[in-house]
Amino acid sequence: MSNALNSFVTYLADGNIATARQVRAMFKVDNAADLVYRARNEGISVYTNRVTNSRGEKVFAYRLGNPSAQFEKYLEQGKIDRARKTLYRDAISVAM
């Protein structure tokens, strides 16, 4: 795992959530989605949620979570793409 990826996962493992802008600033990456993609490819359940920031804008935020039963089922069947899509499905709106 790269240093940025390791730091990102550690940050989320502490119970924090991070918006894409925060990820770019804190972990010195150009593309937050790419960092999340790499984490997911390492088998880490990073969820994407739609949140409302302090300015009232709807943005994406990332958090760690436990894989759903549906995710596990698709993974066991070798349906990696379908399993990955379940991580995006149920975005929720929370205030930051």
In this structure, the dihedral spanned by the alpha carbons of residues 65, 67, 69 and 72, taken in order and rounded to 10 degrees, is 180
pTM, full prediction: 0.70
Specify the DSSP element, H or E, that contains 1: none
Q: Which domains does the chain have, with CATH numbers?
A: 3-89 (1.10.10.10)
pLDDT tens-digit readout, 10-51: 999 999 999 999 999 999 999 999 999 898 888 788 888 888
Q: Is 18 exposed, middle or buried (0-12, 13-18, 19+ CB in 10 A)?
A: buried
